[in-house]
Structure formats: structure tokens, C-alpha cells
Amino acid sequence: MENNTLISLRNITVAFDGEVVLDHLNLDIKDKEFVTLLGPSGCGKTTTLRIIGGFVEPSEGDVFFDGKKINDVPPYKRHVNTVFQRYALFPHLNVYENVEFGLKISRLPDAERKKRIKEMLAMVGLSGFELRRVNQLSGGQQQRVAIARALVNHPRLLLLDEPLGALDLKLRKEMQIELKRIQQQLGITFLYVTHDQEEALTMSDRVVVMKNGQIQQIGTPIDIYNEPVNAFVADFIGESNIVDGVMIRDYLVEFGGRQLPCLDGGFGTNARVDVVIRPEDWEICKPADGQFHGTVISSVFKGVHYELMVQAPGEEEEWMVHTIENHPVGSEIGLILTPDDIHIMHKMSPEEEAELLSALEADSILNDEDEDDEE
Amino acid sequence: MKARIAAAPYLLWAALFIVVPMGLVGYYALTDMNGGFTLDNFVQGMRFAPVIGSSVWLAIIATALCLAIAYPLAYLISRKSANTQRTLVLLVMLPMWMNFLLRTYAWMTLLENNGVINRLLGMIGLGPYEMINTQGAVVLGMVYNYLPFMILPLYSVMTKIEPSLIEAATDLGCSPGETLRQVVLPLSLPGIATGITMVFVPSVSTFVISVMLGGGSFMLIGDLIEMQFLGNAYNPNLGAALSLVLMVILLVCMALTDMFHNPEEKEGLLL
């Protein structure tokens, strides 16, 4: 265990009614780090958060805080504060009283209390809102009160449970940047839960990708995006083309009817693998010059880019291509990959593949619900 | 416009059966046997001040007991799963489906000097205790009969307190006791106010319970009014005056409990 480790989860297992939610989970979080737990709904990320908060007791395993085991410490004695998913502001108190709540309980002297609350409200941009009732605030403002209410206690660790889920896109982006700024300014460890991969990549020092109560990958946003360890992570972190391939030998892979050089090795010879290609990594050229060529069968304007689906003649494979120049439906284009655009993954078993599909499906349903909420 | 037409039957009903009788009560209270104006009925009513006082006192005790019993129970019910909540609320209401008189008679046979409780106590060499025809028996009857009216409004407010609010309080350092004081109690005040009104009003005006369990030895204001209309002391004018006094007491009581409701919060609920 490193010296600056703040939280350690060791072999945490949780089962509700016999259903395993977390499966022998191990995770270390360093002091002052911004760590995000990312995964589809039902992957156990919120449960992990609640274990650290003290609201869920693990069936097995230990939780260490600052090197001390805290399994039996009740939530109100932990140096941890939480920003809840639906804010959970006290409706009978105004903005000031909500932020004051924790300080009042800890019996902080009046003068110090006032000073801290004032600072905190200024930090979240709510100076002058002290006497407002919380149900007269917009979603974004309520969110800020919730953050201020948690941070004013100067916790060692702040837990955030999908805190931006109910906000609209623009507000969400603003709050992402603001949260990151607050975290760096105060030097508090943040553990953030989300199912939004972009949010995770934007804010985190490290991202923990979870599925079915297990950690798939831990790494910096750049690692996770560029070097996903399996097709699940690749597909969950942004859209991807995932196709069957065969590793002919180290640094040479065959897929889509071509043999292409790549940067991966150590899979053996003639091993079946998954090949992942990010849609933005394709280079578009004349049909004759490309490693692949095909017909554009659909083109969707996405704002920053166009999303093309390209079908190669005589093959089932369709490639998703992101490009800033439009190519009309029916036109022929060529596609080129450089070796570092080709990511090779160990093949998933059929069961794992089915799980991936259902997890992604569940997540898209959840996203739809979120959008409904915003209206 | 349509709403007004739809409301017409009730308005007619209210006029016929609420406004007119109230007018009659007022008329009787302010007149003598011959129909002449007088305030004598209220002067006479003052003779019964001790009865009114003990009625209010017993009702206060019964209401306080109901609150003390119902509050923790309602909180426990509200923290259970939805299915369990339904079952428990059903159990709370179950006794109310049985006839009120029958329930009170049952208590008579239980509390009598040679009733079930005294006989059981006798078997282990205790008693017999004088239980029926005491103030305690009257209060017991009130608590037993009106407890559900306290539990239900409390439960309906508490079930709306999000579990996440309790967690938030705990997260911010509240021990279970502090959570209760800082969050649950303030958020359940409207339920407390409603519950107090719903128990206090019938308790203060009851007459059956005091007759059956108090043996008529503890006259309450309800008994007094009943006697003026149906009993030997036939005097509807005095009865009407006493009814008005009772109404004023209830209005004062409701105004007091209404102070629990924060006007701003009401506004918040409307929004």
C-alpha cells in the first residue's frame, strides 16, 4: 500500500438477495485524486460508493480509510461527505441553513461557521441566495447547494453519485469544468460515479471501468480511451468498430479481408482476436488509394462531425467513420488506417458478448429516461 | 363556469345541512324557552365550567398519549418496503371497520371488576383493581378509538420523507437521534398538526366513551349537551349555548395547531 493512499477496498463482495452486486473488488484511491467509477447501470458503481459512505455493508472484504479499517464505523462518524444523485436537499431549510447543516451538527463556533459558508457559497456562485428556499431554485442551483453543503465540512473524500445526471447538456458541461476547478482548488479527493463516458474522460485523473460488479480496467482517461483492455471497455468508452480478426503473428493482423501491420504483439500466431477501430481514426481517400473501399450508405450530421456508414462491396462489414467533410450517400470512398489506429483485444466469450449487448441496451434506456426528466 | 355547476349539489347540501342548522344553534343559544333574546344560557353554561375543563384536560391527555404511541410507529411503518407498508397500514385500520360501540363494549367487559383482566390477574394472586368507571378508563377508550386518526396522517407525511434525506443527514454527521430531531421532526410537523386535530376534536366532544367506560360519573361536555336534548334535563337552549362554547374551544385548538404550518412551506407545496 502506498503512503498517500486514502481509501482501500480489499476483496469487497456484496450480494443482495443472493444476487452478487460486487465481486471481490479491489481498489486504491490516492489522496487528492479525482477518480471516476464508470459503467452501465447495474455494474455496481453506486454500491461501491455507498460502501465507502457507509450506507451499505459489504458481505465480505474490508474498507480502509487512511490505513484504518472502517467497516464498523457508522456513516456519521466517517470523514466523508456525499453529493446525492437527486441532491437530497432539506426542503424545510433555506440555502444558508442547508449548507450550515453539517457545521451545526459538528458544533463549529458561529463566527467560523459564517465565514466558511460565505466562502463556500461564493465558490459555487450562489452568493446572495442565502435566504432562498431550496425548492425555488433551478436544478443547477440545487446541484450547487448540494455540493456546497458537502464541501463546507472539509471532508477528506467527497463522493458524488451521478450528480449531473438531471442537468441539461450545457449546464452539465459547465458544472464538469467547475467541479474539476473546485477539486483542484480545495485539494479534496473526489470519487465520482457516472455512466457518461465523456464526463469521466473530461474530469478524472483515473477512470475505473466496471461491469457486473467487477473492475474491467483502471487507468488515466488517455489510457482507457487509447488502450482499452477489452472490447467492452472499447465500446463503452466512445463508439467503435469492433470486428473479428486473426492475429497472423506479432504485429500483423488480418481482418475485413486485409492483412495490416499493427503495434500489438503477444497474442500468439493465428489467434482469434477482436479488432477495434475508432470511427475518427479513419483517413478518407480516393477509392483506389485506400486499404479498404466502399459505398457510403448513410450520413448523419452530428454537429462537430458527420457519421458515415460505409459498406465494402461484397462484404457484410459496415464501417462507422467520423469525418468533418461530408460524403453524400452513394459515393465511393477509400479508407486508410495507420498501425497505431488498430487496437487488438482478446476475444470475448459468447456469454460476455451477450452481457455487453444487454448492458449497453440497459444503459441507453437509462439515458432516455434522463432526457425525459429534463423536460 | 362548468365547475360552478358541478359544485351546485354540494353548495345546496351545505346550505341546507350546515348553514341552516348552524343558524338554528345560534338562534337557540341566544333565546329563552319563549323565543325572547337572552344571554342567560351562557351564564348558566358557566356553571358547568369544571365539566368543560375536565373534558379538555382528558382530551389533551388522550391526544398526547396518541401522539407518543403513534409517532414512532408511523415512522417505523414509513421506513418499510411498499408492500409491508400496505399490510401494516391495513392492520392499523382494521379495528376501525368494527362498530365503534362494539369496540367500546368490548373494553367494558375487559375492564369490569369481575372482567377478563381482573380474573386473569386474580389467577396470579393480584387485584382485583378498580379499572372501569375511572378517568383512566375514559382516556384509554379515547386513545384506543382515535389512535388510527393519529397514525394515518403521521404516516402519510413520513412516507413522503425521502430515504435520501435521512442518508444526507447521516452523511453530514447526524446520529440517529439528531437525524430525528433535525430532519424527521420538522418535516413531519404538518402530520402532527393534523393528527392532533383529528384526535383532539372527537375526544373533547365524545359522550359515548365517558358513559360506557366512565359509568356516567365523569360527565364530559358531550354528555352534558346530550342531556340537554335527549335526557331528563331537557333544555335545548342551554344545549345550543354549550355547543357554541365547544365550537369556540375547537376553533382555538385548531388555530393553535395551525401555527405549526409554516406559511412559506405551504406555498412551497403548492408550487
Query: What local confidence, expressed as pLDDT, does residue B138 receive?
Result: 92
Domains of chain A: 5-226 (3.40.50.300), 240-278+339-375 (no CATH), 283-336 (2.40.50.140)
Q: Chain A interface residues facing chain B, Cβ-Cβ under 8 Å?
A: 53-55, 74-76, 80-82, 84-86, 88-92, 101-102, 105-106, 133, 135-136, 149-150, 153
Q: What is the pLDDT of residues A147-182, one digit of tens each?
A: 999 999 999 999 999 998 878 888 888 889 989 999
**More confident: A166 or A23:** A23
Q: Within 13 Å and on the Cβ side, how many CA atoms surround A310? A: 30
**More confident: B189 or A352:** B189
Across the interface, which of B173, B262, B271 has its CB nearest the CB of A135? B271
Q: What is the DSSP letter of A196?
A: -
User: Is the separation of the CB atoms in A294 and A259 below 8 Å?
Assistant: no
Residues 6+ apart with CB under 8 A from B1: none
Residues 6+ apart with CB under 8 A from A180: A34, A202, A203
B83's torsion region: left (phi>0), alpha (psi -120 to 50) or beta? alpha
Q: Are strands A68-69 and A318-323 parallel, antiparallel or unpaired?
A: unpaired
Q: What is the pLDDT of residues A229-271, one digit of tens each?
A: 888 888 888 788 888 889 998 899 998 888 899 888 888 888 8
Residue A145 confidence (pLDDT) above 90:
yes
**A194 DSSP β-pair partners:** A38
pLDDT band at B89 (very low <50, low <70, confident <90, very high): very high
CATH of domain B49-221+250-270: 1.10.3720.10
Q: What is the pLDDT of residues B210-240, one digit of tens each?
A: 888 888 777 888 888 888 888 778 888 899 9
The answer to whether B173 contacts A90, with C-beta atoms less than 8 Å apart, is no
SS3 state of residue B94: helix
- End-to-end CA distance of chain A, in Å? 47
Per the omega criterion (within 30 degrees of 0), is the bond before A328 cis? no
Cα A11 from Cα B109, distance rounded (Å): 63
- End-to-end CA distance of chain B, in Å? 24
Cα B172 from Cα A151, distance rounded (Å): 10
Query: What local confidence, expressed as pLDDT, does residue B129 receive?
Result: 82
Query: What local confidence, expressed as pLDDT, does residue B262 receive?
Result: 53
Query: What local confidence, expressed as pLDDT, does residue A348 receive?
Result: 66
**Where along chain B do its domains lie?**
49-221+250-270
Tell me how far CA of residue A213 lies from CA of A15, A23, A24, in angstroms: 10, 5, 8
User: Is the separation of the CB atoms in A143 and A172 below 8 Å?
Assistant: no
Most confident range, picked from A14-23, A238-247, B73-82, B122-131: B73-82
Q: Within 13 Å and on the Cβ side, how many CA atoms surround B29? A: 19
Q: Which residues of B touch A91 (CB under 8 A)?
A: 187, 265, 268
The answer to whether B167 contacts A91, with C-beta atoms less than 8 Å apart, is no
- Tell me what the pLDDT averaged over chain A comes to: 88
Query: What local confidence, expressed as pLDDT, does residue A32 receive?
Result: 93
Q: Residue A357 belongs to what H/E stretch?
A: helix A350-374
Q: Using alpha carbons, select from A304, A302, A297, A338 the residue that is nearest to residue A319.
A: A297
- Tell me what the pLDDT averaged over chain B comes to: 87
Q: Which residues of A touch B262 (CB under 8 A)?
A: 92
Cell of B72: 414512532
User: Is the separation of the CB atoms in A51 and A65 below 8 Å?
Assistant: no
Q: What is the pLDDT of residues A276-303, one digit of tens each?
A: 898 999 999 998 888 888 899 999 998 8
Q: In this structure, how many other beta carbons lie within 10 angstroms of the beta carbon of residue B36?
A: 9
B180 touching A, CB under 8 A? no
B169 touching A, CB under 8 A? yes
Question: Which range among A27-31, A204-208, B5-9, B258-262 shows the weakest confidence by mean pLDDT?
Answer: B258-262
Residue A363 confidence (pLDDT) above 80:
no
Residue A220 confidence (pLDDT) above 50:
yes
Q: How many CB pairs under 8 A join A and B?
A: 67
Query: What local confidence, expressed as pLDDT, does residue A361 receive?
Result: 60
Q: Which residues of A touch B175 (CB under 8 A)?
A: 76
Cα A165 from Cα A363, distance rounded (Å): 13
